[in-house]
């Protein structure tokens, strides 16, 4: 179906006076930004709710300076920060509206109906928003897993992403974690002339073998089967004692030990979940609750930026078509189900003949 009902948003539109939004998107990562571009370009009033203070999601907050080399069209790679800034600029130019430093609490059904849609009430920590459709694109992982032993220091030199330092000039850096994110951070610091120690709880790192080997070849030291048991200040640096008795000094500590799951949030929304805690969706990215879609890492097995983009765009178009063509999605579902049933009967008949 062609997008024959596409209209354009007016730059003079008073978004603050809207009685309701066409679409509210939860999350300003790759999937959420791609979805917002798509709905806004089709004339739908679009609001994006983001828990952090800036857009970009994981590319911005986990590897802002790392070159991403698997994005088509960027043969020399592009950093997570630049990619996020470019996509956000496109969204702003398309008149997408944003609310930062706000977090989803729940999504309620209302008794109010507009143009065939029962409105949803998106409740956040800072407000409430009525809308026709909701797209959840906040990712499976919300917050970095904390490391209390170093957090207790309340030091500005403890980071949960790689700090932006042009040249470490031989300063000692301790990275905590054994996964790809930890070793990517360690290699990045090493390339900036840091003296790097990596503390890995497991017997062997679970990061890619070439990343581990690259770090070791360039002078990085990996401490396996070890955790930080004690941390204190010592002559302007942070002193650490590991469970194996090793003592280290660090000017910076980078913690990369995983993230807390968003499963509790999804359960609070009364959505059907898969066994791994991700959101179950149908072929149109709609969840078990009518009018609520889910895209990106919240449900997908392939966690790539390009996949998140594609899903965000597809779900946005499905939402657009359902808004502009009432009952379109239900009719398409019924047609697809009939085709599937015919296919099953043909397969059963073929098996019976064998």
pLDDT digits (tens, 9 = 90+) for 115-173: 888 999 999 999 999 999 999 998 776 667 889 999 999 999 999 877 888 889 999 99
Nearest to 289 by CA among 142, 102, 122, 127: 122
Is residue 71 located within the same domain as residue 53?
yes
Work out the pLDDT band at 1, boundaries 50, 70, 90: very low
Q: What is the CA radius of gyration of the chain?
A: 24
Q: Where are the alpha helices (DSSP H) in the chain?
A: 30-41, 58-61, 80-93, 148-151, 180-191, 209-217, 263-268, 305-324, 328-353
Is residue 164 located within the same domain as residue 227?
yes
Inter-axis angle of helices 305-324 and 328-353, to 10 degrees? 110
5 found inside a domain? no
Cβ neighbours of residue 4 closer than 8 Å, sequence gap 6 or more: none
Is residue 248 located within the same domain as residue 159?
yes
pTM for the full model? 0.70
For residue 3, the SS3 value is: coil
Q: What is the pLDDT of residue 334?
A: 62
Domain coverage including residue 94? 15-143+260-342
Domain ends where: 257, 278, 306?
257
Work out the pLDDT band at 304, boundaries 50, 70, 90: confident
Q: 254 and 163 in contact (C-beta within 8 Å)?
A: yes
Between CA 77 and CA 189 the distance in angstroms is 19
Is residue 253 located within the same domain as residue 272?
no
Domain ends where: 224, 257, 290?
257
The distance between the two most distant Cα atoms of the chain, rounded to a whole number of Å, is 83
Is residue 23 located within the same domain as residue 50?
yes
Domain ends where: 199, 225, 257?
257
Cβ neighbours of residue 95 closer than 8 Å, sequence gap 6 or more: 9, 11, 13, 40, 46
273 found inside a domain? yes
Q: What is the per-residue pLDDT across 208-239, written as a single tens digit (0 to 9) for each?
A: 999 999 999 999 999 999 999 999 999 989 99
Q: What is the per-residue pLDDT across 84-116, written as a single tens digit (0 to 9) for each?
A: 999 999 999 999 999 999 989 999 999 999 888
Work out the pLDDT band at 353, boundaries 50, 70, 90: low
CB atoms inside a 10 Å sphere around CB 165: 16
3 found inside a domain? no
Is residue 131 located within the same domain as residue 156?
no
**Number of structural domains, the chain?**
2
Q: What is the pLDDT of residue 82?
A: 93
């Amino acid at each position: 179906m062609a997008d024959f009902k596409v209209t354009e948003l007016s730059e003079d539109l008073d978004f603050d006076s809207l009685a309701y939004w066409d679409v509210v998107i939860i999350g300003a990562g790759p999937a959420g930004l791609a979805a917002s571009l798509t709905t806004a370009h089709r004339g739908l009033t679009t609001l994006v709710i983001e828990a952090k203070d800036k857009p970009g999601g994981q590319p911005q907050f986990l590897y802002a300076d790392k070159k991403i080399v698997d994005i088509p069209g960027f043969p020399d790679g592009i950093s997570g920060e630049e990619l996020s800034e470019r996509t956000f600029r496109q969204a702003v130019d398309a008149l997408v509206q944003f609310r930062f430093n706000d977090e989803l609490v729940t999504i309620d059904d209302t008794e109010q109906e507009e143009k065939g849609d029962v409105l949803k009430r998106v409740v956040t920590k800072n407000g409430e928003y009525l809308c026709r459709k909701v797209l959840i694109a906040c990712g499976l992982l919300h917050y970095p897993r904390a490391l209390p032993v170093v957090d207790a220091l309340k030091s500005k030199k403890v980071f949960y992403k790689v700090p932006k330092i042009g040249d470490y000039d031989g300063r000692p850096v301790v990275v905590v974690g054994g996964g790809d994110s930890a070793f990517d951070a360690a290699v990045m610091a090493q390339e900036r002339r840091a003296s790097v120690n990596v503390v890995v709880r497991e017997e062997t790192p679970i990061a890619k073998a070439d990343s581990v080997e690259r770090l070791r070849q360039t002078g990085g030291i990996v401490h396996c089967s070890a955790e930080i048991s004690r941390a204190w200040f010592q002559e302007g640096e942070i002193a650490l004692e590991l469970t194996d008795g090793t003592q280290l000094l660090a000017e910076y500590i980078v913690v990369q030990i995983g993230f807390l799951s968003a499963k509790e949030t999804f359960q609070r929304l009364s959505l059907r979940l898969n066994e791994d805690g991700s959101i179950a969706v149908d072929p149109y990215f709609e969840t078990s609750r009518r009018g609520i879609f889910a895209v990106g890492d919240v449900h997908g097995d392939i966690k790539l930026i390009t996949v998140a983009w594609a899903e965000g765009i597809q779900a946005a178009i499905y939402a657009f078509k359902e808004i502009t063509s009432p009952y379109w999605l239900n009719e398409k579902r019924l047609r697809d189900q009939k085709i599937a049933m015919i296919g099953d009967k043909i397969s059963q008949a073929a098996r019976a003949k064998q």
